[in-house]
A and B are shown apart, each in its own frame.
Chain A
Amino acid sequence: MPPPPDAESPPDVEGWLARVRAGDQQAARLLVDHLYPQVIRIVRARLPRRGGEEDLAQDIFLKMFTRLEQYQGAVPLTHWVSRIAVTTCIDQLRAQKRRPEFRWADLSENQSDVLDAVMTSENDVAANDALAAHELVHKLLDQLKPDDRMVIQWLDLEQKTIAEICNLTGWNTSLVKVRAFRARRKLRKLFLDLQNKEHA
């Protein structure tokens, strides 16, 4: 059995890949442990609720191993795995049943206060309402198409650049911009509808 990797030395990803292709389970375990932090960050950003994140991560890793023969090393392994993670998350969002309409009545008291604050006052949202704001953002994002949702989340919530998004997804710049535009238009409409309902 090969010795365990030294914590100080850089991970021998290429070596692990070769051993996985030869059917070595220990190398597969090392690869999963190495890639897990990156995959789980992508999964958690798409799923605000904790339930199901491990199942989704499992799906992503199983897809990765199934397609490992297709990986030629043209892009870094982390990018390649990120793309699998992103497409799996998009598929998961598509598979979810259509969300009900976004309504004031469905919001918690904190979420309602936050929404009211950002729509009607120039004051900053209180720091202790950050979690409610986070949940509210995800409720609004749930109203978007999965692809558009991902783009606007990266741009506005995670503050990634368009180049980073292209790298992460393999989409071209125009496609990312179109998706961002569509998402912003939909969000604008949602806010206007909410304002109209509040004032009605």
Chain B
Amino acid sequence: MKPIDPDHSWKRLTAAARRAPVETVTAAPYGFATRIAALALAADHSGRSLFERFALRAVGVASLLAIASVCVNFSALTAEADEETIVIGDDPVALLLGPIE
């Protein structure tokens, strides 16, 4: 038997499939909308409040820690910076080349 062009076969197959009965019931099942509304709004509220609460607290704590760490280590940081300047000043290459004009 002579085979038919695949494109033609597909067209005929989809034409036949379109005649299949379609599900006509499109109303939401009983209780579906109530369940979705409850889930959606509950998730929305708990998610937002939790995020807000933790995010704001985290930002506050992180800022305090950053300020405190800078205050505590300020003298150490400035001393280290002075040492680095001295080391750079004692660099033999810098000494050999002389001061940059």
Seen from chain A, the residues whose Cβ lies within 8 Å of a Cβ on chain B are 20, 23, 25-26, 28-30, 32-33, 36-37, 40-41, 44, 54, 57-58, 61-62, 65-66, 114-115, 118-122, 124-125, 127, 129-131, 133-134, 136-137, 140, 156-157, 159, 184, 187-188, 190-192, 195, 199
Contact = CB atoms under 8 A, between A and B. Distances in A.
Nearest to A25: B37
B53 interface: no
Interface of B: 1-4, 6-7, 9-21, 23, 26-29, 32-41, 43-45
Contacts of A129: 16
Given A66-B40, A130-B20, A32 B28 contact: yes
Contacts of B12: 118, 124-125
Contacts of B39: 58, 62
Contact of A188 (B6, B23, B26): B6
Contact of A156 (B11, B26, B27, B45): B11
B40 A61 contact: yes
Contacts of A136: 13, 17
Given A125-B12, A131-B21, A137-B14, A28 B41 contact: yes
23 contacts: A23-B45, A29-B33, A29-B36, A30-B33, A32-B32, A36-B33, A37-B26, A37-B27, A54-B32, A62-B39, A65-B41, A119-B4, A120-B2, A122-B4, A124-B12, A125-B16, A127-B19, A134-B17, A140-B10, A159-B18, A188-B10, A191-B10, A192-B6
A118 B14 CA distance: 10
Contacts, number: 131
Main secondary structure on B side of the interface with A = helix
B37 to A, nearest CB: 4
A41 B26 contact: yes
Contacts of B1: 120-121
Contacts of B2: 120
B36 to A, nearest CB: 5
B4 A118 contact: yes
Nearest to B47: A66
A97 B96 CA distance: 72
A54 B25 CA distance: 13
Contacts of B3: 119-120, 195, 199
A131 B19 CA distance: 8
Nearest to A137: B17
Contacts of A115: 13
A49 B18 CA distance: 16
Contact of B9 (A58, A65, A119): A119
A10 B36 CA distance: 23
A130 B32 contact: no
A157 B17 CA distance: 7
